[in-house]
Amino acid sequence: MPDDTTRPTPATPDTGESLAQRLIDQVAALQKRIDRADRRQRIERALADAQAVDVPTAADEIEQEGGDNPDIAALVRTLKRTRPAFFATAGAATHGAAAAIPPLDAPRADQHLIALREKAARGDRASLLLYLRARRSRE
């Protein structure tokens, strides 16, 4: 015959209502985290579209200054106006290695190499590789 005194008893008996309330609180907290992550993703996408140089830092700036403003496009425009250093300038090359192409030496330059360099400066990776290969073979 089983003895009822050997059964473990919970330290704090939970009623169904308190358990339900805890679950509701957890769901609400998770929903807030999902909403924050979704907002952060929309902010980062808008910053990338606006050609932000450092998207994570710019997104942090928007989250700190923007609060819960739902108009992300307006926040990006404001940041672009107040902090232009976060964004690429219109005339600058924004394609990594293409921005670092050194000028050609005048005596060694030929028309083919000049044309390849101009294509590479536009940011196309294949053109950059062709230019670098051609320049290396001429040296």
Per-residue pLDDT of the chain (139 residues), as tens digits, is 555 555 555 555 568 889 999 999 999 999 999 998 898 899 889 888 888 888 888 888 888 887 777 788 888 898 888 888 888 875 444 455 555 555 555 445 577 777 777 777 777 777 777 777 777 776 6
pTM tops 0.75: no
Q: What Å distances lie between residue 3 and 7, 22, 111, CA to CA?
A: 8, 33, 98
Q: Phi/psi at 124 (nearest 5 deg)?
A: -75, 125
